Amino acid sequence: MTLRVAALGDTHQVAGFRCGNPELDRWLRDHAGLATGQGTRTYVVLDVADTFVAYFAIAPHVLDRSDAPKKVARGAPRQIPSILLAKLALSQHLHGQGLGAELLVQALGTIIESARVAGGKLVVVDAIDAEAAAFYRHHDFEPLPNRPDRLVMKLSTAARALRVNWP
């Protein structure tokens, strides 16, 4: 499936979006617009027919070096500049088709482009549940030592996986 990423705008109809997790649906419907004004950027993912099939949200973030896995913390500043992958949701009717990985690729591509402008060393994600944590671990995210629901990936690792130059 060919997907296109666009910044969330007033013309995108979000009320009918259902990903199977009411918390993620509610956040998109009730909070995404407000979050944009507070520094979070929400992106919609559209298919070739311009149908809204997914969304993700990113925000600037810092991770304390003391919280990071040792191989990530080594040589890093006390506060590691990062980008938080705050939300990631795929339309429920597309589950089971392997599109979650494609959605993650779209999100990581956007994050890498953002980090080229703003800087950063890591992608941080807070998994909403154990299934989501397993999904991120499967895609080379590493859990923090004391928080298995919070996972990180070096931006250089993401760029290598996407076969793009970094920085």
Statement: residue 10 has pLDDT above 80? no
Statement: residue 141 has pLDDT above 90? yes
pLDDT tens, position by position, 111-120: 999 999 999 9
Residue tagged 């931006």 (tokens): 155
Query: Residue 127's pLDDT is what?
Result: 97
> Minimal CA–CA distance to 56: which of 96, 3, 11?
3
* pTM for this predicted structure: 0.94
> Minimal CA–CA distance to 24: which of 70, 77, 92?
92
Q: Domain 4-162 is in which class?
A: alpha beta
Query: Residue 15's pLDDT is what?
Result: 84
d(CA 114, CA 83) in angstroms, rounded, equals 9
Query: Residue 85's pLDDT is what?
Result: 98
Evaluate whether 57 touches 86 at the Cβ level (below 8 Å).
yes
Residues 6+ apart with CB under 8 A from 58: 40, 41, 43, 83, 84, 85, 86, 107, 110, 111, 114
Q: What is the mean pLDDT of residues 158-163?
A: 96
Q: How do the domains of the chain map onto residue ranges?
A: 4-162
pLDDT tens, position by position, 21-68: 999 999 999 999 899 889 999 999 998 988 889 999 999 999 999 999
For the sheet containing 41-46, what is the strand order? 4-7, 41-46, 52-64, 79-90, 122-126, 147-154, 142-144
Residue tagged 């928080």 (tokens): 147
d(CA 133, CA 135) in angstroms, rounded, equals 5
pLDDT tens, position by position, 76-134: 999 999 999 999 999 999 999 999 999 999 999 999 999 999 999 999 999 999 999 99
